[in-house]
Chains A and B, each alone.
Chain A
């Protein structure tokens, strides 16, 4: 079927482009005899990834632990604040500017301070990652909670719905697509936040996350290992995004335009 062929092609094309890029890279490195401490080829990087799998996978777990804890905290913190904002315009008006300030201040600039005040390093990393990740969830969910059909609100009033009923039956489901789109952004950002925080903490503490491994390898001029750690980080980011997109599809595919496939 032509439709299926188009779909296969859509999946295949980026893979082919990737393979061609890697092959070109390997050829470039080999043909020009580029030393491994300047630019290692992909095969060398893959070898290093396998050799060092023990250390690198342990570090990956440490980074992912911070990432997921931060994402969870962002869901609870961002979603909770959004629900609070939806209860009263005054609460929103008083607190939202500070959420924006927290968001626009570069995390690398705040991280050293947080590391000083929060003794527990892992907790400090978590706080940094949370600061980066919670805002998209907060702002998206707030928008979703406020974009309820006014006629449906009238209907709720007509049937004398209580406040919690309006929230539970109307505002929260209405906000779900917005929340999920914020969640997908927050997933990537919590990984970025965790890595940035690790970099800042890296020299000061005995961290063992992937960012710390990258720093450590750069001091030793172990470039292949830097790349290997980088591959793990990007891979994790992609998987997190894919997983959250999957969650979004599962929740929305029955009704929301973004997830409904058009029948032609």
Chain B
């Protein structure tokens, strides 16, 4: 099966000399939920930006075997990144408007995107009237409104409280299944990545690189029972150990 995106020996060096990423190779297959897990400075956000085309690799290539435009990209930042002067509807309308879609044609698509994140009744609210979790839902709706095949998420729930975070995790898995999304998810939480992913790429810092690639064995739709199961704990331990090894290597390298 040809991957949606293929990273081949991708490296990124910034103008100030920092090597953010070294020789990263990764195939992202359609329908997968891949987490990039690692400590800060391991280049996981850089990798995401390279995939999105928001930065150019210094070495290697980012390939789109099926064409990039056909894939359709959505990006969710760590902050909700909403326009405070537009209400929820206007914020979700932005990508459609940039693509030249009329308000009338956008209406049902926006309604559907808002409904899918559970914000059906909030179209007219302004961002300042919403809680952190709700703002993040708007941000996800804005990414989904273009019906992307690939959704890139950069620590989207890091700033949220645990209860909100667990709820959004559940909803994200539901969306992943319902919308046939491929998701690349950056996180520094072992528990979150094991709960969400079909595959976890563990990374280390200085320079940022891949140190382990772990497949998670669990049903596609996971629930509260899975979150407390022995199976979940066992896989968390495996990923945790890989991360510890990565941090250890980092210490030796630094």
Contacts and interface: CB of A to CB of B under 8 A. Distances in A.
Given A160-B98, A255-B128, A155 B75 contact: yes
Contact of A151 (B77, B84, B126): B77
A260 B99 contact: no
Interface string B103-137: 00000000000000000000000111000000000
A110 B99 CA distance: 51
A161 B85 contact: no
B126 A161 contact: no
Interface of A: 149, 151-152, 154-161, 165, 169-170, 173-174, 176, 254-257, 260
Nearest to B81: A151
Given A156-B98, A160-B98, A165-B98, A255 B85 contact: yes
The SS class assigned to the B binding surface is loop
Interface string B26-57: 00000000000000000000000100111000
B247 interface: no
Interface string B63-88: 00000000001010101010111100
The SS class assigned to the A binding surface is helix
A52 B155 CA distance: 71
Given A154-B54, A154-B75, A254 B98 contact: no
A153 B54 CA distance: 10
B95 interface: yes
Interface of B: 49, 52-54, 73, 75, 77, 79, 81, 83-86, 94-95, 97-99, 126-128, 146
Given A255-B126, A260-B128, A159 B98 contact: yes
Contacts, number: 53
A135 B97 CA distance: 34
A160 B69 CA distance: 11
A154 B53 CA distance: 10
A155 B85 contact: no
B81 A159 contact: no
B99 A159 contact: yes
B75 A158 contact: yes
Contacts of A176: 85
A208 B49 CA distance: 64
Contacts of A158: 52-54, 73, 75
Given A155-B77, A157-B53, A256-B84, 19 more contacts: A149-B81, A151-B81, A154-B54, A155-B81, A155-B94, A158-B52, A158-B54, A159-B95, A159-B98, A161-B98, A169-B83, A169-B97, A170-B83, A174-B85, A254-B85, A255-B126, A255-B128, A256-B85, A260-B128
A157 B52 CA distance: 10
Contacts of B77: 151, 154-155
Contacts of B85: 173-174, 176, 254-256
| Most chain A C-beta atoms within 10 Å of own C-beta, residue among B73, B128, B146 | B128
Contacts of A255: 84-86, 126-128
A173 to B, nearest CB: 5
B151 to A, nearest CB: 12
A174 B84 CA distance: 9
Given A170-B83, A256-B84, A157 B128 contact: no
Nearest to A252: B85
- Interface pairs A-B: 7 shortest CB-CB: A151-B81, A159-B98, A255-B85, A173-B85, A255-B84, A151-B77, A161-B98
Nearest to B95: A159
Contacts of A157: 53-54
Contacts of A174: 85
| Most chain B C-beta atoms within 10 Å of own C-beta, residue among A158, A160, A255, A260 | A158
B146 to A, nearest CB: 8
A180 B127 CA distance: 21
A257 B126 CA distance: 12
A151 B79 contact: yes
Contacts of B97: 169
A79 to B, nearest CB: 17
Nearest to A166: B98
A156 B54 CA distance: 10
Nearest to B80: A151
A173 B128 contact: no
Contacts of B81: 149, 151-152, 155
A152 B75 CA distance: 11
A165 B95 CA distance: 11
B54 A152 contact: no
A27 to B, nearest CB: 51
A77 B52 CA distance: 39
Nearest to A251: B85
A160 B54 CA distance: 11
Contacts of A151: 77, 79, 81
